[in-house]
Every structure is written in C-alpha cells, then in structure tokens.
C-alpha cells in the first residue's frame, strides 16, 4: 500500500472517473473526495428531463461505483475554500485543512446570473438535484414560466415544463435557439418544433426587470412587454468554480489550463484537472485548448488525469500521447432526440445531407478549409454511427 494521498475536489462525474482511473492505473494510496453537495456523484443530464418531469431522486441518479473505489474517503457538504500549492493543502469552509501529495481539480461550473433588478423569490437555476426538485415544485399546469436563455438547458427545461402543463415563454438575445452549436437553420427548425408544442419564443430580447415586492409576479422585457409569471429560470450559460484556486499563479482565465496529460500548467506540484472546468488541448482542436461542457468529457479527461497522477505518484513520467477524445453530446426535447459528434459550434459553414429541417435530418459542419468538424442529427441516432466511426479513425490516425 502506497502511503501517499490524492485529494479530489469536486464530487461529480469527473472526480469519480479520476478516482477510478487512479486505481485502474495502480495507485494504492488514500483517495479523499471533497464535495460541496451532500451527495455522492450523480448524473446531471436527467435534471432538465426525467428528474424534472417525474421527480427522480438520488437513488435513481447516483452513479454505480466500482469496487476499486469502495475505500474512498468522502468529505461531503463542505466546499473547498482555498488551495496552497506550496504547502500542498486544501482548506475547507469548516476550517479543516487537508494535506495532499497529488490533487485533482474537478469543481465544474455553476450557472451564470444576469444583474437584473427586482425581487429574486421565484428565480431558479438548474445545476443540482436540489435545484431540479425546487423547480419541479414551482411548475404548475396552466401557469406561466419564463426561461431566460435558449441554449440546451433552457430548451430542455422549456420542453419538460410544457410537458408538465405550464405555459412556457423563452426569452433570448439570440436570433434562434441553440444557434451556437447548431447554426441558424437547425436552430430555426428546433424553434418550430417547440412552437408546435406551445412554447412561445421572445428572440432578440432580454429581461430588463423582475417585478413584484418580495416575490416575482411578472418580468418586463427590453421592448417594454410584460409577462406575468411567478417562476423564472435563468439558463444563460456558466461560470467556472475556480475561486478556491486563487493565489497560486495558475492560468484561470477560462477554467483551469492543463496540458495534453491533464496536468495543470504553471506548477511542478502534481495537480490535474478534469471535466467541465478543464481547458485542455485536443487533437480535434489543435488551434487552442478548450473547455467542453459535454457529458463524455469528464470521463475522457478523468481517465487521462487518473493515469497521469498515478504515474506522478509513482515518480514516473506520464504517458506522452496526445489527448484524442471525441466530443459528443445529446439532448432530448419533447420526443426529439438531438445527437452530435465533433465540434459543430464555430463551424465555417454547414449543409443538410439527409432528411429535411422539419423532420429527422443530419447536418454536417465544416471548417473553412472544408474539413468536417462536426455533425448533428435529429432523430437519427443510428444513422450517425458512421460519423462517429469516421471521427474515431481520424483521432486514432492523428494521435
């Protein structure tokens, strides 16, 4: 038994996968996982879908844990407040200080909030199971709900709230929903699919005030329109949970900058970062390191980070191979299944290659030099498999 200790801060999917990978790569020392939520790691994607619709609990959503991590020490319900890299310590909100030999940063992101004047009772965000349960309690049939933001989470909540019987208004500055990854045409087609189910979009608009005394009773849009509502969901993007890392000279300009082994750049101390918070280089995006907030990235980065840290804990060099993971996401809205591989967001141009925008379809996305950089399909999960294979082959060749 190795007498070293690895501390993982952030008890989410990335933290769990890093622990499993440490064990799979031969680390036999102590692993301590610190989390600010009271719960062991659980699956977040259902929070805007099934968990919101039918109130699934932690037992339904908790990740199955491998036997190899059965001996992990859990410190839950305690946020980490500070990191001291020189002394290799993490401080917790309750004053406890934990020493480490190696560290995994896995604290993810939180919803961004707009500085909108007015009361905040009735204002919701969606990141945790607690958030999902609170929002579910607030949604009532035939009553208005206003969602600010028309990205994936905003649109998924719009679909689920409609299925729960609410009258849904989506307010967004964008000209079409989900336009960033999808582009204008597929975004417009998703808007039409939502509209056909009763969702009302207020596009090119933002909310300029929440009205009411203690509790929100209506919102005013920037064109003066007033929408009566007692429930508002802000889903306008995220900020990274990096504050506890301040003062250590790390690059925290957009998450935590790591190298291709997930090792944090700017320190000799063995520290890696995983999941939504890690800004990493990748074979598919050679131009600059990226943060990718997709469900498969905590697993991919967690696997790599665990291998890196296990090597460092054993005084060995991490494997030098490039990081060659394929970004992938899915989204379920009403009975439409969206699936994507690669990086369609930021493409130079796109073309529809199968079906049409009103039904099942596949859209290919290209870089300016004509290279396929991503694909999105609606209700074409099986048909997209050859694209997945093609990307995987490309990754294997270039890594």
Ligand X SMILES: Cc1cc2nc3c(=O)[nH]c(=O)nc-3n(C[C@H](O)[C@H](O)[C@H](O)COP(=O)(O)OP(=O)(O)OC[C@H]3O[C@@H](n4cnc5c(N)ncnc54)[C@H](O)[C@@H]3O)c2cc1C
Using only C-alpha atoms, what is the Rg of the chain? 22
Question: Binding ligand X by CB under 6 A: which of 4, 53, 62, 127?
Answer: 127
The least distance separating ligand X from the CB of residue 37, rounded to whole angstroms, comes to 5
Q: What does the per-residue mask of binding to ligand X show for 332-371, with x meaning CB under 6 A?
A: ----------------------------------------
Q: Rounded distance, CA 154 to CA 162, Å? A: 12
Stretch that binds ligand X, among 30-38, 53-61, 115-123, 349-357 (CB under 6 A): 30-38
The least distance separating ligand X from the CB of residue 75, rounded to whole angstroms, comes to 9
Question: Binding ligand X by CB under 6 A: which of 72, 145, 153, 166?
Answer: 153
Q: Rounded distance, CA 392 to CA 399, Å? A: 11
How is residue 20 written in tokens?
Answer: 């499993």
Nearer to ligand X, 176 or 293 (CB): 293
Q: Rounded distance, CA 307 to CA 41, Å? A: 20
Query: How many Cβ atoms are within 10 Å of 355's Cβ, its own excluded?
Result: 16
Stretch that binds ligand X, among 29-37, 139-147, 215-223, 246-254 (CB under 6 A): 29-37
154 binds ligand X (CB under 6 A): no
331 binds ligand X (CB under 6 A): yes
How is residue 278 written in tokens?
Answer: 């890690």
List the interface residues with ligand X, window 267-306 (CB under 6 A). 275-276, 293-295, 298
Contact 118, 221 (CB under 8 A): no
Q: Rounded distance, CA 258 to CA 247, Å? A: 17
Phi/psi for 301 (5° steps) reads -70, -35
Report CA 56 to chain centroid distance, whole Å. 20
Nearer to ligand X, 295 or 366 (CB): 295
Count helices and strands (H / E) in the chain. 9, 26
The least distance separating ligand X from the CB of residue 218, rounded to whole angstroms, comes to 26
Query: How many Cβ atoms are within 10 Å of 274's Cβ, its own excluded?
Result: 35
Nearer to ligand X, 118 or 177 (CB): 177
13 binds ligand X (CB under 6 A): yes
36 binds ligand X (CB under 6 A): yes
How far is CA 333 from each of CA 199, 234, 341, rounded to the nearest angstrom? 12, 18, 18
Nearer to ligand X, 34 or 146 (CB): 34
Question: Binding ligand X by CB under 6 A: which of 20, 37, 101, 234?
Answer: 37
Q: Is 382 helix (H, G, I), strand (E, B) or coil?
A: coil
Q: Rounded distance, CA 264 to CA 238, Å? A: 21
What letters, b where the CB count within 10 A reaches 16 and e where it falls short, cover 4-38?
A: bbbbbbbbbbbbbbbbbbbbebebebbbbbbbbbe
Nearer to ligand X, 77 or 212 (CB): 77
Stretch that binds ligand X, among 33-41, 249-257, 317-325, 372-380 (CB under 6 A): 33-41
The least distance separating ligand X from the CB of residue 388, rounded to whole angstroms, comes to 14
Question: Binding ligand X by CB under 6 A: which of 330, 334, 357, 366?
Answer: 330
Nearer to ligand X, 10 or 374 (CB): 10
391 binds ligand X (CB under 6 A): no
Nearer to ligand X, 10 or 118 (CB): 10
177 binds ligand X (CB under 6 A): no
């Amino acid at each position: 038994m190795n007498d070293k200790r690895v501390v993982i801060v952030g008890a989410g999917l990335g933290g769990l996968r890093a622990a499993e990978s440490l064990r799979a790569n031969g680390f036999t020392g102590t692993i301590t996982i610190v989390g600010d939520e009271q719960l062991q790691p659980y699956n977040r994607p259902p929070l805007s879908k099934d968990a919101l619709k039918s109130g699934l609990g932690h037992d339904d959503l908790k990740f199955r844990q491998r036997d190899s991590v059965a001996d992990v020490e859990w410190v839950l319900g305690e946020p980490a407040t500070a990191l001291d890299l020189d002394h290799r310590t993490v401080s917790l909100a309750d004053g406890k200080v934990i020493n480490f030999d190696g560290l995994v940063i896995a604290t993810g992101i939180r919803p961004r909030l707009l500085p909108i004047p007015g009361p905040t009772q009735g204002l919701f965000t969606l990141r945790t199971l607690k958030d999902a349960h609170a929002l579910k309690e607030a949604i009532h049939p035939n009553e208005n709900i206003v969602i600010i933001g028309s990205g994936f989470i905003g649109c998924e909540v719009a679909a689920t709230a409609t299925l729960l019987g609410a009258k849904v208004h989506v307010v967004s500055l964008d000209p079409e929903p989900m336009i960033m990854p999808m582009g204008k045409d597929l975004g417009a087609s998703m808007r039409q699919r939502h509209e056909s189910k009763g969702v009302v979009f207020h596009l090119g608009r933002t909310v300029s005030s929440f009205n009411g005394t203690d509790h929100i009773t209506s919102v005013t849009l920037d064109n003066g329109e007033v929408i009566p509502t007692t429930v508002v969901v802000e889903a306008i993007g995220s900020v990274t949970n990096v504050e506890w890392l301040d003062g250590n000279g790390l690059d925290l300009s957009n998450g935590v900058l790591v190298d291709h082994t997930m090792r944090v750049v700017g320190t000799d101390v063995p520290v890696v970062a995983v999941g939504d918070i890690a800004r990493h280089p990748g074979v598919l995006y050679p131009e600059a390191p990226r943060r990718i907030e997709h469900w498969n990235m905590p697993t991919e980065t967690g696997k790599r980070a665990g291998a890196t840290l296990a090597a460092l804990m054993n005084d060995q060099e991490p494997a030098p191979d490039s990081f060659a993971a394929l970004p992938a996401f899915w989204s379920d809205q009403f009975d439409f299944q969206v699936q994507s591989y690669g990086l369609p967001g930021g493409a130079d141009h796109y073309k529809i290659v199968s079906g049409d925008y009103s039904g099942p379809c596949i859209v290919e996305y290209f870089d300016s030099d004509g290279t396929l950089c991503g694909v999105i399909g609606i209700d074409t999960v099986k048909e997209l498999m050859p694209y997945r294979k093609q990307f995987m082959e490309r990754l294997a060749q270039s890594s």
